[in-house]
Amino acid sequence: MPTTPLFPLPEGLEITSMSETPEELLVRVTSHRQTSCCPTCSTPSSAIHSYYRRKPRDLPCVGRPIHLLLTVRKFFCRNPHCSRKVFTERLPDFIEASSRLTTRLRTAVQEIGFATCGKGGERLGDKLGMPISDASLLWSLFLVPLPEVGQVHVIGVDDWSWRRGKRFGSILVNLETHKIVDLLVDGEAESVKQWLAAHPEVDVVSRDRGGCYIDGATWGAPQATQVADRWHILSNLGDAVEEFLIRAQIRLEDEKASSKAGQKPDNPLSSFSATPASQRKSQARLLRKWKLYQRVEELQAAGMSLRKIGEELGLARTTVRKYVRQAPDPPLPTPRPLRASRLDRYEDYLLARWSQGERNAAQLYREIRERGYPGSVTMVRAYLAHLRTSTADVSPLARASSVRQPSHRVRYAGC
Ligand SMILES: [Zn+2]
């Protein structure tokens, strides 16, 4: 039976018979190719050693799966210098050696895999007459050759998580094409360095503000300009603004309460206090929780169900229940470390000068001293350092200070 246009086969393969079972069609195909090339030395051979049968699956016909009974041969390799004596017939345009799917079925399965996922692809493949397990489907995706990385001039590097957030690697993205170019299994500076060293064409490295990627980029691509990426700048800025606003609100409430009681506010809270940065961060976290707690109380008082409250605030129902159970006593410690600083009264002035671009601590110290500031210049320096870290400052001062450190010779650029 010759090959039909409805069931094309490559040159030298022929359908010999067809039969069917309730589940599938069986198509017997025999190879009549005279020669085959040895996979080791590429010498063609026509010396047949034996016949054997493969049972790969092919594309379905009218929704029914097709199994091939493919008769192929083994050949002797006659090349005296070749280490291989016998090899199986290769059909590179039809099926890979030892594959259980023809190339055209494999391609279809890969398309399903890319469009869906493991389990979804398994269900869809079943309906389309291409039964395949989710594991095989995902394995098929690994067989797709990766595209060439090519020339990358602007690269972005950041963390990516695998094993469901238990481990972190590095993701490298070509920022001109917006395509992922590589995934590194760890987030170490050394791996990033090695990757960048192999790509001397990189002109710009966009990264977060963590030391690891700064080191990796500085060592691996000393020729490149480094920029802090927009997401991290906005994220840092958002955190700083949130922290400031929460504190400002508490300060207002505090002042309101004090003036009601006829007292002078004795605890004016500032976005800055003379506490270490880590402590300020944990305070901000506590304050966020405290605000959430208040919101839960309000919504519950308005008669909303726990489930609705959870949906509204993006909280797990167990968290909502915990907060409600703890009412009326707030579950969180009062933000005790928020102590008044002698700088607080001059904060607005300093912020205004900061936004005008003034970064010189001594100058700002002189200016606020004229306005009555009784504290030290050290406090002003600490406050400026706080502003610098919480606003991702890229002022000339920050640039100069980072260049002074030999291990972090970084050129910043605005973005
Ligand atoms: Zn050979």
- Model pLDDT for residues 22-70, shown as the tens digit of each residue: 889 999 999 988 899 999 999 999 999 999 999 999 999 988 999 999 9
- Tell me: pLDDT of 85 over 90: yes
Assess whether pLDDT exceeds 50 at residue 415: no
101 C-alpha vs ligand 1 centroid, how far in Å?
A: 26
Cα–ligand 1 centroid distance for 80 (angstroms): 8
Q: Can you tell me which residue has the tokens 């007292």?
A: 263
| Residue 47 CA, ligand 1 centroid: distance in Å | 12
Task: Identify the pLDDT of residue 409.
Answer: 34
Whole-number percent of the chain with pLDDT over 90? 41
* 86 Cα to the center of ligand 1, angstroms: 8
Q: What is the mean pLDDT of residues 127-131?
A: 93
Cα 73 to ligand 1 centroid, rounded to whole Å: 15
User: Which of the pair, 63 or 74, is modelled with greater confidence?
Assistant: 74
CA of 9 to the centre of ligand 1 (A): 27
pLDDT the model gives residue 23: 87
Instruction: Determine the pLDDT at residue 324.
Output: 79
Q: State residue 328's pLDDT score.
A: 60
For 136-187, the pLDDT digits (tens) are 999 999 999 888 888 999 999 998 887 766 788 999 999 999 999 999 988 8
User: How many A from CA of 95 to the centre of ligand 1?
Assistant: 20
Distance 99 CA to ligand 1 centre (A): 21
pLDDT exceeds 60 at position 102: yes
Confidence (pLDDT) at 59: 95
Q: How many whole angstroms from 52 Cα to the centroid of ligand 1?
A: 20
Predicted confidence band at 2 (pLDDT cuts at 50, 70, 90)? low
Q: Is the pLDDT of residue 407 over 50?
A: no
Strands 57-61 and 64-76: antiparallel
Looking at residue 141, what is its pLDDT?
A: 93
- pLDDT, residue 412, reads 36
Task: Flag the least confident range among 91-95, 163-167, 193-197, 299-303.
Answer: 163-167
Distance 44 CA to ligand 1 centre (A): 8
Q: Ligand 1 centroid vs 87 CA: distance in angstroms?
A: 8
pLDDT in tens, 257-288: 667 665 544 444 454 554 555 555 666 677 77
**Ligand 1 centroid to 15 CA: how many Å?**
29
* CA 39 / ligand 1 centre spacing (Å): 7
Q: Tell me the per-residue pLDDT of 302-341, one tens digit each, with 9 for 90 and over.
A: 888 888 888 888 888 888 888 877 666 655 545 444 455 7
CA of 75 from ligand 1 middle (Å) equals 10
Between 396 and 185, the more confident residue is 185
CA of 105 to the centre of ligand 1 (A): 30
Mean pLDDT of the chain: 81
Q: How far is the CA of 349 from the centre of ligand 1 (A)?
A: 83
Whether the predicted pLDDT of 391 surpasses 70: no
- Residue 120 confidence (pLDDT): 95
In the predicted model, what is the mean pLDDT of residues 280-301? 76
Please check the confidence at residue 404 and state whether its pLDDT lies above 70. Answer: no
pLDDT at 406 over 90: no
pLDDT of residue 351: 87
Reported residue count of the chain is: 415
Q: Is the dihedral of CA 111, 115, 120, 123 positive or negative?
A: negative
Read off the pTM: 0.51
